[in-house]
A = this chain, B = another copy of it.
Amino acid sequence: MNKKEDLLNVFFRKLEARDDLSTQEREALLDAAGEVRVVGAGTAIVSEGDRPMQSILLANGLTARFNIVEDGGRQITAFHIDGDFVDLPGFLFRTMDHGVRAMTDCTLVSFPHQALRRITEHCPHLTRLLWLTTLLDAAIHRQWLVVKGRFSALEHMAHLFCEHLVRAEVVGLARNGEFPFPITQTDLADAMGMSTVHVNRTLQELRGKNLVQWEHGRLRVLDENGLRKLGQFDDAFLNLDHEPR
């Protein structure tokens, strides 16, 4: 089915940034891919406590992982873009410890856990690459911890924008430092663990320094070097080297 191949291309691209992918491996992934679904912005793709029977690859759109705390506050722990699995941990965790929400309309491809298990049984190298994608998520989490623990709001925001620029570039979503970033300031505040008010003021400061523009759901980085410097951004944690894994 040609259509499914198109949808998976962006995932292949993400993997191929880190290692070679054989034709057989591509086919194994195509075989494993199940239902394709388009959901609207705001859809709860996964809810805390779910025991899903498949994991979901985001072919197109933007999703957020989040946890709700007692006072009703929400903490976003990750954003996912084209080519990211939004709940691969569910394959081995069984019970989801967090929710995933579509922040935009999203095209989703489901991978039944049974099919993923078959991959782990017959395609060791591909298994390592799938494993790698979850390690990437973990590396991003660690980076967020460093940033949240030791950076000012301004540095934090600069770092986050740099991260998204690079990730968008890897899957071909960015052109001239501009990429889709269709979320609200409230969402951003929930991701940065701060108040909307302060996100707004921090953003104004970044704009005032002529580092970024953010309009119509697109973020444009005007001065990538300046932004990287401010955000102390080093892309090493994203493991962009192409090497045998």
Q: Given that A89-B139, A93-B139, A124-B120 are contacting pairs, would A75 and B146 also be in contact in the complex, using a CB cutoff of 8 Å? A: yes
> Which residues from chain A sit less than 8 Å from chain B, CB to CB?
65, 67, 69-71, 73, 75, 77-78, 89, 92-95, 97-98, 117, 120-121, 124, 127-128, 131-132, 134-135, 137-139, 141-146, 148-151, 192-193, 232, 236-237, 239, 241, 243, 245
Picked from B70, B128, B142, B150, the residue with its CB within 8 Å of the CB of A98 is B142
How many Å lie between the Cα of A151 and that of B70 in the bound state?
Answer: 10
Q: Are B138 and A69 interface neighbours, CB within 8 A?
A: no
18 A-B contact pairs sorted by A residue (CB < 8 Å): A69-B151, A73-B150, A77-B146, A89-B138, A92-B131, A93-B135, A93-B139, A94-B243, A97-B237, A120-B124, A120-B128, A121-B124, A127-B127, A135-B138, A141-B145, A145-B145, A149-B193, A150-B193
- Shortest Cβ distance from residue A95 to the other chain B in the assembled complex, whole angstroms: 7
Copies of the chain in the assembly: 2
B75 touching A150, Cβ below 8 Å: yes
- Would you call B148 and A145 a contact (CB within 8 A)? yes
A238 to B51, CA, bound (A): 15
Q: How far is the CB of A191 from chain B (nearest CB, A)?
A: 8
Point out the residues of chain B lying under 8 angstroms from A65, CB to CB.
142
B69 touches A232 (CB 8 A): yes
- What residues on B are CB-neighbors of A77 within 8 Å? 142, 145-146
Contacts of A245 in B (CB 8 A): 92, 94
Q: How far is the CA of A150 from the CA of B148 in the complex (A)?
A: 11
Q: Do the beta carbons of A145 and B93 come within 8 Å of each other?
A: no
Within the complex, the shortest CB–CB distance from A125 to chain B, in Å, comes to 8
Distance between A60 CB and nearest chain B CB, rounded to angstroms: 24
The 7 closest A-B CB pairs, nearest first, are A149-B193, A141-B141, A138-B138, A97-B237, A75-B146, A75-B149, A77-B142
Closest to A245 in B: B92
List of B residues within 8 angstroms of A192 by Cβ? 149
Shortest distance between the CB of A143 and any CB in chain B (Å): 8
Using Cβ atoms and an 8 Å threshold, which residues of chain B touch A151?
Answer: 69
